[in-house]
Chain A
């Protein structure tokens, strides 16, 4: 097929290899580079501590969106009740009450003293307009910790849902204590 002499043949074989290699380098360099992704490695303790401080600073500056984003990343690696409390608090600041309630619900599942979430959870449901869920949360809280605060919250929840008899009953239960 080739009409060229052997020397030229050899030179041309090289001339294919070189542009081919360079073309592959071009393609690999340009088309396979991807945007920087978030690290999927678990955050080490030092980084986590630094991020918590960063979150505190952001909250102080009222940059709650940024703070929440970092907290959610932290929670992925450290799903503790402490981090859930932080997430709930930030959601409250953002007036994102449904998300706040969700965080408190998770808190109640993992926290050693779940009743700490009681008042905030009921309040979050109230602010989110989820009154039935508020009643349910308050009933669970009273069952868990029949404290006067929880009884009052339950009575308020009943009142908010127009269950005045139940509200009166809750208040009288409080009086009986």
Chain B
């Protein structure tokens, strides 16, 4: 048992180290998970990741110790421990993980830290291969294979259906569950057919067990590599050689490590094998007692499904867990080695597999609404993704284009293009009101009474909305903060890169503050630290020291204190409080103050909004008491919404579903300004319209018109804010997922280049936007054409052409 625990601890440690280095190679992951961990930002990496990097050299030593004590007998330690011992010393002097930089060196480290696994695996194998009986028992293996595949497939289908039942809180449609079972049966029948073929080929040779052992290891390596590539690297836009090389390295290292370990565990065995698979799967079923072997994957499935869903990255962790559970379940059932009557005719089993396949094809799945169920039954989600028809060539070409222009790598040097919302930015003679921009991270509009009459916990924000201007049809252009927040400052859509630097030429809002001589203060979160130019004009607001993040009440009290000191000078404040960010809610264990109830709402989220509302009420009362309320532009909005269980989704990751794109947008304009302008609260409005609106209100006119720019929402004549477009590009901040909002925001088309799917929402027919409608092929083709055009317009503005860039690189 000690050996098993030690080996898995070693595997876990080196894998974690490698994954951490890989994160530093990916621009998006580096920005949000590595570079900003010390600022304890909810949008950035979890604290444990930063802690792991800090103490990595200290864990490395005991990890080496574990390798020492489990070292294969009669094998020379000198070379291994000379190299890796020296590395340990280097790590102590100059830790690698906490000094990683974005770039190819991180990828090199990621692969290097896999080498101990390969070394140990090879040594284990070489030390013990002579002690293993490499001959077959001669038993027909197909009944055992068939039973293992079918039982484990249907077992996980039942298990995840039960988990889905608990997660959904209601029984799913019988036909959908049946389809799920058949889908699982087809996949596991396919696995059976493949393993059976390998077995059949292997048994033609004397070394059949060894051949199956190698083939099983290769299959495991391919499975690991494909899973990492598809479910981890593709969503975060890692493409090209790195997307092949790294998953292949991990798959190879883990497979060799486990194969070597399997050999060691079978050392001294006398009884012949049924198949070489016994060797490969042995490390995965280390529990001595048979029931425990089955219980382990079941418990793992339940625990991971219930604990990870709130902070998961669009099902990424849950899908990885499903693949692990599938393998463990198969290994567990296989290890039980039920004594089936040896049937000499495998054709019967193959025929059953074909019957499953025919049954699967016979079901008209198009008529089942599977998306919602697949959000709760993650095993079915994975099965469905595997079995779904391949996208058409034209669709693949679009997805390729989306991926090409998404998360443009750090190494690609792009010069900034000035975003000039007016021809010449010079100070105006207009009176300068105070400007307060409150971007409440992840705030959904349907959690404010101003937008949803069922809400009773936001009386202050509702009163504020009533006496001011509520844009009823507001959206963000970007899912997630990465690009949403910078786009608010730019007043325009941005190139999909984090970030084009220096950002200042594109930062229309900061340039306005500078030109107009505002005293500014902002909460410098991880993103603003990167994009804002440090200047005396833009001071710093602090995090709440008790909570460790930018918290609304702390920030508003800080703002009130600043105003007390100099109420007469025009001041600018921008805050992005993180009270209701899903990671903060999870960090605070989804706590709800005792006695508070919010039926029909996600209570931890609603409770925190109530707190925000209370402090907002205090702030407005302060402004009124000081006579500043009528001298202030106040904007209350959010950078994006959030998924709170819709279709099993949580958080905002890289999706741009309606609950992510819809946001509140409430303006207060000083009465003297208000009486001179008009607006249309029902017209489509975006967060990128905030900066052009402030420009206009401060007297900077006319506002330049461009498809990628925002527009002033308040103008003296309707013509000045007239919209000359019917489609608005929206995108995810982090993945190749783009969309089009059309017809004044009545329709939303999404081309999801991560899951290769399209979604279409018609808010006229489905105001909540909970169910994706079927999209006629003609319309889809039309939307795809427009999507390409809109992306071309964006790239043209920023003078970026990937082909040109590639040609330059080639030269």
Contacts and interface: CB of A to CB of B under 8 A. Distances in A.
Interface stretch (A68-76, A103-111, A133-141, A155-163): A68-76
A79 interface: no
A95 B742 CA distance: 11
Contacts of B394: 37
A19 B198 CA distance: 9
A131 B415 CA distance: 33
24 contacts: A1-B206, A12-B200, A15-B346, A16-B200, A16-B201, A18-B347, A19-B193, A19-B346, A23-B193, A26-B190, A26-B357, A30-B386, A31-B390, A33-B390, A35-B390, A38-B778, A64-B743, A65-B743, A66-B779, A69-B776, A69-B778, A70-B778, A72-B778, A129-B724
Interface string B459-502: 00000000000000000000000000000000000000000000
Interface string B263-294: 00000000000000000000000000000000
Given A18-B346, A25-B357, A35 B392 contact: yes
Nearest to A13: B204
Contacts of B776: 66, 69-70
Contacts of B344: 11
What 4 A-B pairs are tightest by C-beta distance, nearest first?
A69-B778, A19-B197, A69-B779, A38-B777
Given A19-B197, A65-B779, A69-B781, 4 more contacts: A19-B200, A20-B197, A22-B353, A69-B776
A70 B726 CA distance: 18
Given A16-B201, A30-B387, A65 B781 contact: no
Nearest to B756: A35
Nearest to A23: B193
B420 interface: no
Interface string A84-97: 00000000001111
Contacts of A15: 142, 200, 346
Interface in B384-417: 386-387, 389-392, 394-395
A90 to B, nearest CB: 11
A113 interface: no
Interface string B187-201: 001100110110011
Nearest to B351: A22
B205 interface: yes
B206 A34 contact: no
A126 to B, nearest CB: 12
A31 B387 CA distance: 8
**Chain B interface main SS type:** helix
A95 B361 CA distance: 44
B350 interface: yes
A15 B705 CA distance: 71
B196 A19 contact: yes
Interface of A: 1-3, 11-12, 15-16, 18-20, 22-23, 25-26, 29-38, 64-66, 68-70, 72-73, 94-98, 128-129
Contacts of B203: 12
B193 A69 contact: no
A156 B389 CA distance: 56
A30 B357 CA distance: 9
A98 B726 CA distance: 11
Contacts of B189: 26
B354 interface: yes
Nearest to A14: B347
B782 interface: yes
B747 A65 contact: yes
Contact of A35 (B190, B205, B395): B395
A66 B779 CA distance: 6
Contacts of A96: 725-726
Which of B357, B724, B742 has the most A CB atoms < 10 Å from its CB?
Answer: B724
A129 B704 CA distance: 13
A26 B193 contact: yes
A126 B779 CA distance: 28
A94 B743 contact: yes
B195 to A, nearest CB: 9
Contacts of B346: 15, 18-19
Contact of B354 (A16, A22, A33, A98): A22
A23 B197 CA distance: 8
A32 B390 contact: yes
Contacts of B193: 19, 22-23, 26
Interface string B662-698: 0000000000000000000000000000000000000
